[in-house]
Amino acid sequence: MNKQVGLTRRDKLTEELIDLFLAEGFLAFNIEQLAGRLQCSKSTLYLIAPSKEQIVVAVVRAFFRRATERVESRTQGPGDPSERIGTYLEAISTELKPATPVFFADLDFFAPAQEIYKQNTQIAAKRVQELVAEGMGARAQSSLYSNFVGVVAGQTMERIHHGEIEALTGLDDSAAYRALADLIVAGIA
């Protein structure tokens, strides 16, 4: 549970729900069960949004917003673009590490949450593309190459999250992100 000073009750509930959803998913809970787990009233939960579905969307959106802020904060500033790509992908892995398979299964099943996830993966792929373009500088075909790498990175990230890469290679998420970073960095070297 997050006990940071200055957070509103709504913010604290959202943080607690993020932790709960990452650990146990969100589809199996009803509002009464969520209120019981957070030791609050149902009306207090409705501070977040007016329905369970809207609460889920708000919490999933808050999780990805928080993750994006943390990832970007680790890659800000000057530095070698190759190192920044590795740092970026490792930071994504760190942020997604608490998410259990049930959380990802619930994301896949609930279309509004799946859309948020898909948008965030596209944003991450675009960011990788920007970092690759930065690393390549003015080299010929850098735009075409960085676009390609962005697409490949996005598709690979989705497959990492769905467990496909681990099933095929034995690499856990963190190792898969590191391998993706190594592959991209080698390609721009």
Look at residue 139 in the predicted model and tell me its pLDDT: 60
Please report, for the chain, the start and end positions of each structural domain, with discontinuous segments joined by +.
Answer: 60-188
Looking at the predicted structure, is the pLDDT value of residue 37 above 90? yes
- Comparing 144 with 17, the larger pLDDT belongs to 17
Look at residue 189 in the predicted model and tell me its pLDDT: 67
Per-residue pLDDT, averaged over 82-109, amounts to 87
Contact 95, 160 (CB under 8 A): no
For residue 91 the two structure tokens come to 């930071």
Cα(37)–Cα(25) distance, rounded to whole angstroms? 13
Looking at the predicted structure, is the pLDDT value of residue 110 above 70? yes
Cα(183)–Cα(165) distance, rounded to whole angstroms? 15
Look at residue 1 in the predicted model and tell me its pLDDT: 42
Task: Look up the CATH number of domain 60-188.
Answer: 1.10.357
CA angle, 69 then 75 then 77, to 5°: 110
